[in-house]
Structures are given as structure tokens and as C-alpha cells.
Structure 1
């Protein structure tokens, strides 16, 4: 069977596709920062608790419910923008995964309420139950991450959809050699950003122990992740890998910029400057989200290009979207102003 025959026809979009790509990259970078802070800090807190240092997991656990809520909300936007431009691939991979993909909702809900119970029932639960609840919630997030890695890689390989028609419904992308370093790259990155989050929390609380612990995790996880990134690059198909090694100048420059930013990030980490690291971390994550987008474009190039998608040039909905973004941003800024003002009054 010709894999091209399995790809649904792309729907017309209202405005030029580049707008949706920019929004996809930007919102995905924001989502990754929050997701990494959430999962990484939770995993670090769990490891420290297993070592007999329960203070960190207690403080981190108090921050996880709102952090998870923000992560979920920030994850909706890039998923929607992805479906606008690449829905004819993403919808297919989601359907092919079947129950594995649907289970993401229920597992995420379990982790969500697990962290809430940990926060609000901390005093009434025994130590063992607390650790089991917290640990299983962290594992739930790891499952969600692995399913997303499966979906985002499966959508790029129409030639890998064939097993469904051979009677293998609800399958995962096990045969893709890029799946494992891609998933590990995200998980180790979560430990790095989670360590940074712990360090920033310690700086806010004036707790030097938290700052030291957080930066220890950040530096080592970042160094390991550079090696995992090389593995990920080598696991890509030759055409995609060579594009990042000079075959495609924009893709190569994006990767070089990301590595340069990571180098400055690591230097600031060695100098124990968590605030400066935070700024460089945001830039590095944005550049790596751009690299990830190049991977998607290069993978799909034999099957699909955005230039082939019809555009209706109906900008009304886009202007309405921008208006709601501006108005919503102003309201959020006002609410934050009132919140911090009320905190100062209570103090």
C-alpha cells in the first residue's frame, strides 16, 4: 500500500500558515517551560525524599497543583495550532494509538487529583501513603509524556501507519529509533528545568540548601541532555540529520543558535546565577522548540508542505483572536497586580 494514500486531504485555513506556525512554536515553548518545571521539580523532590530529605518535596508539593493547571492550559493552545496546520497527520496518529491516547486524559486527571490530595491532606496521610500517591502521580505524568512522544513521532511517519491495516489496532511507535532519544531528551530536560525551578524557589524563600540542590540538578541534567541531544540527532533519518548539519541553512542556524544559548545557559549555571539562568533557559527552550518544528517540517517534506494548503484569506477571526489575547492579557495583569497588592497589605 502506498503510504501517501493514507494521508487525508488538508482542510483550507483562514490565514497564511506561517501565523499558525509562529503561534505553535511560541505557545509550545511556554508549555514546555511549565511542564518541565512541574515534572522535573516533582521528580527531584521524590528523589530527595527517598534520600531522607523530606523538606524539598513538601515545599514543591505545595506548588504542583497550580503549576499543573497552568501546564494543561498552556498545552491546549499549541495542540490546537498543531491541528490547524498538521491535523491531517496528527488526527490520524491519535486514532491509530486508540486507547493508549484516550488513557492520557484519565491518567492526567489521576495525577492532578493526586497532587491536590498531597497538598491538602498532607497532615492526615501517613508518610508511606504520601510517597506512594506522589510517586504514582509523577509516573502518571511520565506516561503522558511518553504518549505525546509516541503521537508526535507517529504522525511524522505515514509509512509506519501500515500495521493498523494488518490488524494491529491501538499500537505505539515502538519501531521508530528516534522515539527513545526524543522522549529521553524531554525527560532529562525536565530535570534540568525542574532543578532551576527548585533553585528559584530557594532564592525566593532565602533557602541556600534549595538553591544548591536545584543548581546541582540543573547543571548535571543539562550536561547529560547535551549528550542525549546528540543521540537524538544521530537517530533521525539521514535526510533530516544532514539538513541540520549544513544541508538546510535555516535549520542548521537554528540548531547552532540553540546550542550556543545552551552553552551560555550552562556557564551561568556554573556561576550559580539562577535568575540569569532562567532568562537563558526561556530562550534556549524557544530555540529548541523551533528546532523541533524543523524536525517536523523535514520529516513531512516528502509527503506534505504547507504551501499546498488552500488559504481563504478570512482574517476576521484572527483579528478577533488577537483582541481576546490583548484583552485577556490585560485582565490577567490587572488580577496579578491586585493579588500582589493584597499580599503586601496582609504582610
Structure 2
């Protein structure tokens, strides 16, 4: 094992990390939480849209029309926020992620193509009358199929990365090394079910928020919003129970040597999850009274379960003699400061865009916040200027430009 650990650690970037790895790990969990919530919204929203469209229920039909606008926007945000955790993984877990991507290279490329396809299909459905109730549900079904395939691919890539002890078994067949990149080598049904069922639970909570959000609009009948709210609360409760069952199934498949059942992050996440289920049970009688508690509990559950997932990854990789805490660190204060300022700038810009969309949907006459809007534009221009100057200075310094 010592020789294998030396091999794994040798694969790390020889230049080391520009800052201490704990920061990248915290940002990895936070950005993954935001990303997976949006992914759940898209997957669950696709299922609810198809159900509403095909049910024949007039309320379901109206809900499906609303979701036709939500899905492409949510997927675009999910894609943007998905870049961040992937980059953090490549920074602190680079030997594992790169090897997993190489042995399944065709699937890694298909992953990108399928996301673009699903995004396009959602827009085709919307532009061909989805918002007017005339769209062909086949487009959404195909988009859902593409996203389900994406889920299987990223599930397999993530599993392959945490099982380096099986790399030689997967790659070497009959004494010959196979680097065709055409295979997927790992799959755990309870694990992927745990994530897929969560998407329907999350869309249920979204429907509770949807009803509360549009209550201020006179063109949304109270009977319709009450139906959406009840449907959302019931869906969230039922599928939270199913997800918990899949989670227990997955938990039982973990190596006993991990003793993960006593890990603090798992216990915190499980505690929030149980509390969420209890509150959802209470919400069945009066969903409107529990919308915000359910939303907050859902976010905390996903956040701490994401951290527990990260702790589980560390358990797997510790068996291979790897810890990102041992990664050589060569602090680069200027690049780290630029990165953090860029991160904050992105949050300001996204907040402004979200605020405008929120106010517009509620029917506000004044949807913008002029001071915040000017700040967002100023920060963007300032960032572009700083990046151009830094690029020119480095280019002249290294002799890339005369």
C-alpha cells in the first residue's frame, strides 16, 4: 500500500496549491450544495412537468406551463454553478478525477454533449408552445432521458475516482492495457437512487415556494395556488421518506471499517433530514405555515449531507494513502485574493439578476435596483480591466509579447 500511496501522491501537481486546501474544500461543498439543488430542481421539475401535462388536470396543465419557463433557466444556472465544484475537485483531488475521466473519456465527452442537448430540448419545448400549453411533451421526455444519462455518467465517474485500488482491474484486461475510454466501470443503485429521489422531494418544496411567491399576483387564483401548495407538500413528504430509505440502503453498503455511522457530519446531516421529514409531516395540514421552515431545513440538510459526502470521499481515499491536507502548499496571495474577489463579484451580479427576476415575477412596477445594478456593471468592467492588465504584465514579463 505504501508504494501505491507514493504513486498516487506522485501524480499530484508538482507546483502544489496556491492556498491552503481547507478553503478549497469548504468552497467545494458550498458550491456543490447550490449546484445539486438546481440539478434536483431541473430533474424533479421535468418529472412534474410531464405529469402535469399528461394528467389532464387543468391545474396540472397550468403548472406544467409555468415549469416550461423554469427548466431552461434553472439548468443554465446549474451548469454555471456546476463548474465551480468540478474545478475544486480538480485542484485537491486531481489524480483521482483525471484518471477516472481518462478511462471513461468518451463518456466524459458525452456528458457535456448531453447537457447541451437537454438544454436545447427544454428551449425547443418552450419556444414551440410549451408556455401556452401547446408544446409536445416528447421534447421534455428526451431532455429528461439525456439528463438521466448524465446522472449515471457523473455517478460512475465519481465512484471510479474513489476506488483507485480497482483501477488496474478495470484497465488491464487479458494482460493488455485498455485506454479506449469507452467503458463505465462503477455503479451503485442505492447511491444514485438517493440522489434521483431527492430531486422529486426538492421540486415538492419548490412548489410550496411557488404558491407563496405568486400569492401576490391577482391573475393566479387562490384555489390553484392552494392545490399547488398541497401537491408540493405531499410530494416533498413522500419522496423525502423514499429518499431516506434509499439513503439507509446505501449506508448499509458502506465498508464497516469506516464506522461512518458515528461521523459528526453524518449525524448532523441525518438529524436535519429527520427534522425535515417531521416538519413536512406537520405541513400536510397547513402547508403555507411551514413553507419557510421546510425550505431552510432542506438547505441545511443538503449542505450537511454534502459535507458528509465529502467526508466519505476522504474515508475512501485515505485507504489509498491520500489526504489533500498533505498537498504541498506554496501560497500565492495575489492570485488567491483575485480569486476571492472574483467570487464575491459573481455573487453580487447573480444577486442583482435574481432580484430583478424576483420582482418582475411578482408584478412590481420597478423591478431594478439602480444602485446595485450600477455596482454590478462597474464590478464587471473593473474585473475585465484588471484581468487585461494582469495578462499584459505577465506576457511582457515572460517575453510572450515584445
Q: Is the 2:68–2:130 Cα contact (8 Å) retained in structure 1?
A: no
User: Looking at CA atoms only, which structure, 1 or 2, has the larger radius of gyration?
Assistant: 2
- Number of matched pairs: 336
Q: Is the 2:31–2:81 Cα contact (8 Å) retained in structure 1?
A: yes
In 2, Cα distance between equivalents of 1:50 and 1:293: 39
In 2, Cα distance between equivalents of 1:67 and 1:337: 15
Higher relative contact order (CA 8 A, sep 6+): 1
In 1, Cα distance between equivalents of 2:333 and 2:88: 16
- After the TM superposition, which residues 94-243 of structure 1 pair with which residues of structure 2 at under 5 Å, given as runs? 94-122=101-129, 130-162=136-168, 163-166=170-173, 168=178, 169=180, 170-174=182-186, 179-206=188-215, 207-240=225-258, 242=259
Q: Is the 1:14–1:313 Cα contact (8 Å) retained in structure 2?
A: yes
Q: Is the 1:6–1:158 Cα contact (8 Å) retained in structure 2?
A: no
Identify which range, 309-318 or 74-83, moves more after superposition: 309-318
Question: C-alpha deviations, 1:87-132, integer Å up to 9, x for none?
Answer: 11001101111212210111111110111111121169996x7111
Q: Is the 2:65–2:132 Cα contact (8 Å) retained in structure 1?
A: no
In 2, Cα distance between equivalents of 1:345 and 1:314: 47
The two structures have a TM-score, normalised by structure 1, of: 0.89
- After the TM superposition, which residues 1-347 of structure 1 pair with which residues of structure 2 at under 5 Å, given as runs? 7=8, 9-11=11-13, 12-53=16-57, 54-122=61-129, 130-162=136-168, 163-166=170-173, 168=178, 169=180, 170-174=182-186, 179-206=188-215, 207-240=225-258, 242=259, 244-246=260-262, 252-270=263-281, 271=283, 272=287, 273-303=290-320, 304-337=322-355, 344-345=364-365
In 2, Cα distance between equivalents of 1:266 and 1:132: 34
Three-state SS of the structure 1 residue aligned to 2:365 is helix
In 2, Cα distance between equivalents of 1:281 and 1:341: 24
Unaligned segments of structure 2, at least 5 residues: 216-224, 368-402
In 1, Cα distance between equivalents of 2:92 and 2:365: 48
How much has 1:160 moved relative to structure 2? 2.1
Q: Is the 1:15–1:314 Cα contact (8 Å) retained in structure 2?
A: yes
How much has 1:312 moved relative to structure 2? 0.6
The two structures have a TM-score, normalised by structure 2, of: 0.78
In 2, Cα distance between equivalents of 1:124 and 1:32: 26
Q: Is the 2:104–2:184 Cα contact (8 Å) retained in structure 1?
A: yes
How much has 1:5 moved relative to structure 2? 7.5
